Each structure stands twice: as C-alpha cells, then as structure tokens.
Structure 1
Amino acid sequence: MPQLVKKYNGIISSDQRGLISYRYHKITRAINIAFWNIDNDTKNSLYVGSYGRNTAINTGDIDILVSLPRDLFDQMSNNRGNVQSHLLSSVRTAIKTTYPNSDVRADGQVIKINFSDGMRFEILPAFEKPAYFMSSPVGYDYPDSNMGGNWMATNPKAEQNAISIKNNETNGLYRATCRHIRFIRDTYFSSYHLPGIVIDSFVYAAIGTWQFSKSNDSSTATAAGTYEKMLLEYFTTHPTYQLMAPGSEQAVSTILSRDYLEKVLKKIAL
C-alpha cells in the first residue's frame, strides 16, 4: 500500500526548537570569544544541513556553520602540514570551554557534540569567501582533515534561498515531500544511510511544476498517488549517480545511497 506524501507541520516541537536555539547561541558565543574576541552569541554562525534548510523532521543531528576570520585562513594556507586538523582541534577546545562535560570530538570536517538527551550538534568551521558579486549569496571554505588535509567549498545560503523559493512556488509541497521521504526512511529503513542533502537535491530536481492545491493541500488536481508515482518514474528514468545541490549547484554523490532512495520511493508510490 503506498505511503502518500502528507504535511509535517510542527513535527519538531517548540520546546525542542527552544533547546536547539539555546545550545546554538552558547556555541556561537564560545566561537566569537575564542576567534573574534567579542562576547556575542548571534554573529558569525548559521544553521545549515537539514535543519537549516527546514526539511528536518527530528533533532538527531543539528548542523551549524561557524564563520572564522578570513585572515586566519590566509595565514593557515601558507603553513605546511595538516593545518585543517589543527584548526578543528582549536575549535574543539573553544567549544569544550562551554561544554566541558559533554562528548566533544573532531571528526574529519566537523566538531561533534553528543548530548545526553540524544541530540547531536555538528559544527562546521568555515571562512567566508571574498564577496565579488554582492547580489549572490557568499560561499565558504572549510577544512577537511582527511587524507592529509585540504580545503573544500560550500554555499549553504544559496541552497537555502533556492529551497525557500521552490517551496513557495509549490505551495509547500517541496518541503512536505522532503520531510515525508525522511519519515519513510526513519520508520521503515532506519539502518539506511540516505543523507538529507541527497533527498533534498532529488526532490528539487524531480518536482517540476507540481504543487499543493491551495484549496485542499493535495498535490495538484490529479488522482491520489499520481505525484508519488511520478517521483519514482523520475528516479528510474534519470539513472544518474550525481545530483546538483539546489542553488549552489555543487555536486552531490548518490553512489552510496541511490539504492536506498529507490526503496524509499517504492514504499511511497507502490
């Protein structure tokens, strides 16, 4: 029996969002004191990942980008060795001053904080790129300490802007679909590794002109299940192992998760 797309408004409670905000501001303050020499809990940080794109359905992973001074990036780029690992260690030390009793560890590209209530934060330290075109969202360079260390690029603001526009164009169907796919994944296939960015990028590519009807919140004026079958058909007729992230147009590999996405889409459509 198909599991048709539905809305998930308010699935993360206001109490949970309040706790997320409290921890977000504490982490931001620690970073600003350590790296910017200011006592401020709002500047130089933003929510990213599924929570930042507003497609999350739980608080298992909360992703934060913390922006560090660009001159530090320039300084580190001139040094030898795995400076990315050293940077992650410095960020971990700063966060430890705020959460000394929590499990805080560096892991490849991020600092992970595992809280005792099951909530996990992943903090991505990054450096804002110089703004050449002020009309476009500014991207960031961030460290990858794997394989001897290197720098990678991301543009979460561009992704968030593109998703917000798409969601408005579809009367909320875009985010509802992303959340529904997560719900099916977590309910029926909890062992699968199907990242949120793969889900969000796939739906962005597949949704086309489909939208919720403003009158009854059904997906366009067609028979029930037509939209869900379209998603599965789009998947089977576009056998790519790479998607493009909304807005940023950065490559999103699906090599390790494509089979899982297919199973979830079949659960929704068939």
Structure 2
Amino acid sequence: MGVAEEFIQFKNGYNIDKELISSISYRYQRITGQLNKDFRSSDSKTSNSLYVGSYGRDTSARGISDLDMAYLLPASVYWQYNAYSTNGQSALLQAVKKSIQNTYKTSDSFGDGQVVVVNFTDGVTFEVLPVFDNTQGTWTYPNANNGGSWLTCNPRAEIEALHTRNLASNRNLKHLCRMMRVWRDHNKVPISGALIDTLAYQFIENWEHRDKSFLYHDYMARDFLGYLAAQDTNKTYWRMPGSGSYVWKKGNFQAKARVDCTIAFAACTLLKEYEGAQRRAKWRSVFGATFPN
C-alpha cells in the first residue's frame, strides 16, 4: 500500500459515517419543523434553519459530538423580546426551549446563555442558536448573560470562505481540517475546531502542493504541523475567515505540533515498499488508530 492509498483509507476513517449523518439530518429536521410550526405556522422541516459551526463549514470529522444549528426567527419576534424591560434575551431562549421540548420532551433541553442545548442519549448534542437577519448579511442573536444583550455573527460568510478556498485547493482544505481534528483528539491538543479551520485556511493559500492529490497528503500533514509549530506562542487570537470573528487560543498547541512534525518528516522519508509498515506506524503515532495499520 502506497502513500496515496494510505491517506485515502485514512480519509474513509475520519469522514463522518452515513448512519450518523442520517441521524443528524433527522433530528435537525424535527427541531426545524417544530420551530417553524410554533414561530411561523409553517410545516416545513428544512426552511429557516442552517447548519453552522464545523458541521456547517463541512470540516467535522468522525467522533463529532456537538452539532451547531441556527434558526432564523421572524423580525417581529425580535421586537417582541427587545421590548422587555429586563433580559428579553433570556425569555426568548426559554420560548425556543419550550418549542423544542414539544418534539424532544425527554431530552435535556435548556438555555445556555446564547443557545438552547439538546442532549441526546447517544452522546450527540445539538446547540440551537436563534437568530435574526440583518440587511448586511449578518445575524443578530440573544446573549442572556450579564443581564442580556444582542450580539452579531456571520456564519454564512465563514461557510462561503471555506467552501471557496476548498475548491481552489482541489478540496484539500477540508481534508486537512478533518485530519487535524483526528490529530487533536488523539493527542488531546488544546486547540478548537474553529482555530484549526482558520489556520488551515491561511496555510493552504500558499502551500505549493495545494492542487495535488492524496499522494501529497503526507506532505500536507507534515507541513501544516510545521505551520502550527511556528505560530507565535504569545498570540492569543486569530480572525475567522469570512466573518473576521475572534478565534481564541485555548492553550499551547505549538509544542505537540513541533514533536509530531518531526515524526511526520521521518515518515515522509520512508517511501520504499518494504518501509510501508514502518511509515504507517509513525503516522499512527501522530493520528492514532484511525490511520491504517
């Protein structure tokens, strides 16, 4: 088995399986249908909702447990809760929670500052963000913390930015984002999916092999680990592609990236057929059991 075949098998291992995708879609449609019924008198199970976060950006990997979705409320609902004398944002989240509980009565559904969280027994958690459309393409959403306020975000711009650069890089950007989530999870590296996506987006713009095939995915992993290791340890935030939102550092991810970059360099030198097992062993030390043996 050569390098390309190894990384194709790795891709098949880190992509989310069809059964979970189907389960996510079913729950998404049930939540959307209930919210549409209660807030719009509509029976649609798909309109006015959008996957956001890593699943919306299509950079999630197998093992995903948190699913972010946004639900677009009518403008009249904003004016209704904005008129509250105290913390209309909390009241709005409670209203959204009560609506969802009409469908998932046994789920642990509650307001968590900015979202309504629905925990399912299989370990998957939906975080539902109620939003309102703004003329400039952003969304306004409620923040119930500290007495209540309205905040803005722009996930649609993030989705579009990642999608555009992914196509410009022969779809390698999203492969990179997914495989680096496997690296993070295997090694318990303190880095968020949003920061992985942000740094991968920056890295691949000028990576010399960005248009190549799976044959170059060993180089891609090696070079991105080097890119992570070279990030300024004093830097505390980066800016998300598309929206420009702040993406904060969770901890020192550079140290582990530096160690594994060295292992990746060694793996990339083992190209002879009889060195395959040794090469895969090194990649498994970087990525864990998801990488083929």
Match of 1:67 among 53, 66, 72: 72
Match of 1:99 in 2: 104
Q: Which residue of 2 aligns with 1:129?
A: 134
Which residue of the other structure, out of 207, 210, 214, is the alignment partner of 2:204?
Answer: 207
Count, aligned residues: 252
Separation in structure 1 between the aligned mates of residue 100 and residue 87 of structure 2, nearest angstrom: 21
TM-superposed deviation, 1:168: 1.4
Residue identity over aligned pairs, in percent, reads: 34
Q: Any idea what SS the aligned residue of 2:16 has?
A: coil
Q: Deviations over 1:161-199 (max 9, x none)?
A: 00011111222222122212211121121xx55322122
Contact 1:185 1:264 in 2 (8 A): no
* Structure with the bigger percentage of helix: 2
Query: TM-score normalized by structure 1?
Result: 0.85
Partners in 2 of 1:180 and 1:223 — Cα distance?
A: 10
1:25-62 C-alpha deviation (Å, 9 max, x unpaired): 00000110111111111110000011111111133011
| 1:181–1:265 CA contact under 8 A, matched in 2 | no
| Letter of the 2:212 counterpart | K
Correspondence for 1:114: 119
Which runs of 5 or more residues in structure 2 are unaligned?
Answer: 1-5, 263-293
Contact 2:228 2:254 in 1 (8 A): no
Structural mapping, 1:81-230, within 5 Å: 81-131=86-136, 138-189=137-188, 193-210=190-207, 211-219=209-217, 225-230=222-227
CA distance in 2, matches of 1:250, 1:24: 25
Query: What is the distance in 2 between the residues matched to 1:223 and 1:193?
Result: 21
Q: Deviations over 1:202-261 (max 9, x none)?
A: 2223333214453544059x798345323422x13x84312111111122222xx141x3
**2:169–2:210: 8 Å Cα contact kept in structure 1?**
yes
Counterparts of 1:148 and 1:101 in 2: how far apart (Å)? Answer: 29
Contact residue 61 and residue 119 of structure 1 kept, 8 A: yes
The answer (yes or no) to whether the contact 2:190–2:251 under 8 Å persists in 1 is no
Contact 2:66 2:126 in 1 (8 A): yes
Kept in 2, the 8 Å contact 1:170–1:209? The answer is no
Match of 1:15 among 10, 16, 19: 19
The CA distance in 1 between the partners of 2:51 and 2:100, in whole Å, is 17
Unaligned segments of structure 1, at least 5 residues: 132-137
What letter is aligned with 2:248?
S
Given that 2:81 and 2:91 are in contact with CA atoms closer than 8 Å, whether structure 1 keeps it comes out as: no
